[in-house]
Structure 1
Amino acid sequence: MKIKLLGALIGTLMVSKLASGMETCLPPLPEPHANNAVASLTINDKLYVVSFAGLREGKTWRDTSKSAYMFIEGNRTWKKMPDIPVQEGRLAASAEAVADKIYLFGGYTVAEDGSEFSTPEVFSFDPVGQTYTRLSDMPTPVDDMVTFVYQNRYIYLVSGWHDTGNVSQVQVYDTKTDSWFRATDYPGTPVFGHAGGIVRNQFIIADGVAVVGKDDNGRRVFDTVNEGWLGTIDQNDPAIITYRKLPQLPGRGHYRMAGAGDTARNQVIFMGGTPTAYNYNGIGYNGKPAEASEHMYAWSFERNNWLLLNDRPIPSMDHRGMVQVDGNWWTIGGLDRNRAVTGAGLSEKLVVCQ
């Protein structure tokens, strides 16, 4: 009850700010979604924010979604967009903006028997025309990977899950030529559900989930990994990356937190997540419910170390990125402290728009 009252109060304050023109507010999605791919871009001085796919409230295989929603600066609500042009809903896709398009990568489907399939499709989405264009498939289909944009041209896909296991590959999509190339492999433990972001030519990758062994019945055991890596992209060759291992983030390891690079602050920001490796329904692979985190961290390139930022009042997890609005980072949707699917926009400035 206290959380709901706090959210309502802060939401009222944010509406007042919006009405006065002080700050743009991201309202809740029309339909709650977790594990949704999010991205934003500015066209003709107007901000567009888009959410693709994810998991609906029922949290079963039937509740995987191919829906898309768009928020346009100046509006008070999200607008339903055409569905992603695929047959099945998907989880753990990634979205990135380059120029006036948003690029959507992969994800995975879930069948009634629980089997999962990493999907290869890549689309560009035109926010103005509200149309999709099918592009060259991923050479190795992955989901739950980290993605980021370099030189407003190249989109990097780092590690992630491919059908039956994690990969160390760094796959790079060239938006100018609709082609792919491989960059230097990720040297850390191959993971899925990790987080990261880029500032100029340096990126940070943190944590995620790995296969750590087998149980007495021969079944794979999944657990969070507490690792941080800094990658530096060669400015003369985008396929060459040098890596340096970083100190560990505080805590046990983080899964499906949100991450993004903030050039103005010279930091990579991380929000939420959980120390529990869980299936898409929020229940851990060990049978224990996952607990969402309210923590925020940043890797400071200036200080060459981790910073512990102010907590958000409402924990959240199951994120596939975050977006920046008026210099303020937001997550959209996810799972809340009770593992319920939410459509809420949660701000780093401890505000909730309702």
Structure 2
Amino acid sequence: MKLVYVLCGLLSFQLMAGTLNWQRKADLLIPVQEIYPAVFQGEIYVAGGLSSELPKQQGQMTDAVQIYNAKSNTWRYGPALPEGRHHGQLVAVKEQLFLFGGFTQANGGNWSASADVLKLDLQQQRWLKVASLPQPLSETVSWVLEDKVHLLSGRSPATEANGQWQDQGDVAIHWVFDPDSLTTVTAPAVPQAKNSAAAVVYDSKGYLLGGRQVQAGNKADVHSFDAKSQQWLALAPMPEAQAGLASAVLNGRLWALGGEFFQQGGGVFSKVWAYSFTEKSWQQQGDMPIPRHGLGAVVMDNSIYVIGGAAAVGLKQSSAVLEELTVVQ
């Protein structure tokens, strides 16, 4: 693997990214954080999640699948997961919906990493286990490139123990899952082991940004990956080192939203950052009305939908907030 570096300063855009318009939409049925939502059949799906509002005896996690219809501005419940699960990666590909890994309540704890690959069976209206990953994986992120699912970074058991948060270690995993054969192969590893990053696709390339290393804290790194050349490319780092953030691509720019930090008592990031792919630079574009971490973001109908999360560091103040973000040029 060849790693190429591009050095870019923090420059002003020649053209402003536009004015942000935030609109509050219908609240989730259950406030959840540590979610990775997906757009499937024209609706937003949120599968599982953690919540400070759920009972400790169930690990403060849920098996609920919440579905949002933008036309009616309503949520409804879909087929529940086989068990409560959080930090699972939900991905829509080739008119199918998969959930990869995540943490479940097992092995004496609430942070047992799973190797499950679940698929929503639309005819039976239930989730089926259709494959297993090479090893348990959680807090990962994903791209879909050429109808294949790329799973990147995250946490996996560091020893034989697998029940507690501290049993897990950061990984530089890069796997490619084929939804047709239900098989997983290894691709060039991400440049550094980390978890709680964000990922998007733009112009047939994948972008991986932010995240954290348990021992070293938040990361500001941004890398792109070209599936054809199999090369990673280092881009202009984020202005702030953010983890537990969400990201999306809209109007030809990469948007970074939220996240948390732990220094000096900790907090939640409020600034909205936009990255210009053409100028290779970042610029702040206002602030989030309700800053959160562990949130999700998806693009649908030329809007970014910003979903759930938590308004305080850790498992506190889990949010049911859904906002639609549009950019007025």
TM range (shorter): 0.7 to 0.9
Cα drift, residue 39 of structure 1: 0.7
Greater length-normalized contact order (CA 8 Å, ≥ 6 residues apart): 2
Structure 1 residues 15-94: aligned runs within 5 Å: 26-42=25-41, 47-58=42-53, 60=56, 62-86=59-83, 89-94=84-89
3-state SS in 2 of match to 1:343: coil
User: Per the alignment, in what secondary structure is the counterpart of residue 63 of structure 1?
Assistant: coil
Q: Which residue of 2 aligns with 1:159?
A: 153
Q: CA deviation at 1:210?
A: 0.7
Instruction: Give the match's secondary structure for 2:234.
Output: strand
Residue 299 of structure 2 corresponds to 324
Taking the aligned partners of 2:326 and 2:269, their CA distance within structure 1 comes to 16
Task: Note the 1:1-354 alignment, pairs <5 A.
Answer: 26-42=25-41, 47-58=42-53, 60=56, 62-86=59-83, 89-110=84-105, 116-126=111-121, 130-151=125-146, 153-163=147-157, 164-187=168-191, 189-212=192-215, 223-234=217-228, 241-251=230-240, 253-262=241-250, 265-276=251-262, 289-319=265-295, 321-337=296-312, 339-349=316-326
TM-score (norm 2): 0.80
3-state SS, counterpart of residue 299 of structure 1: strand
Partner SS for 2:267:
coil
Alpha-carbon spacing, 1:137–1:113, altered in 2? closer, same or farther (3 Å): closer
Distance 2:109 2:181 in 1: 37
Percent identical: 20
Letter in 1 for 2:324: S
Q: Deviations over 1:126-185 (max 9, x none)?
A: 56863323221111221111111112x101001110023111120111112211111111
Unaligned runs of 5+ in 2: 1-21, 158-167
Pair 114,306 (structure 1): closer, same or farther in 2 beyond 3 Å: same
- Residue type matched to 1:327 in 2? N
Alpha-carbon distance in 2 for matches of 1:289, 1:349: 33
Contact 2:115 2:134 in 1 (8 A): yes
Query: For residues 115 and 58 of structure 1, what CA distance do their matches in structure 2 show?
Result: 16
Counterpart Cα distance in 2 of 1:250 and 1:310: 14
The separation in 2 between residues aligned to 1:126 and 1:296, in whole angstroms, is: 37
Counterpart amino acid of residue 324 in structure 1: V
In structure 1, what is the Cα distance between the partners aligned to 2:266 and 2:123?
A: 39
* CA shift in 2, pair 1:201/1:84, >3 Å: same
State the partner residue of 2:7.
none
8 Å contact from structure 1 (residues 167, 190) kept in 2:
yes
Alignment check: 8 A CA contact 1:261 1:269 kept: yes
Runs (4+) of structure 1 exceeding 4 A deviation are 110-115, 126-129
The answer as to whether partners of 2:51 and 2:60 remain within 8 angstroms in 1 is yes
Q: CA deviation at 1:34?
A: 1.1
Distance of 1:256 and 1:127 partners within structure 2: 31
Q: How far did residue 102 of structure 1 move?
A: 1.6
**One-letter code aligned to 2:29:** P
Query: What's the secondary structure of 1:35's corresponding residue?
Result: coil
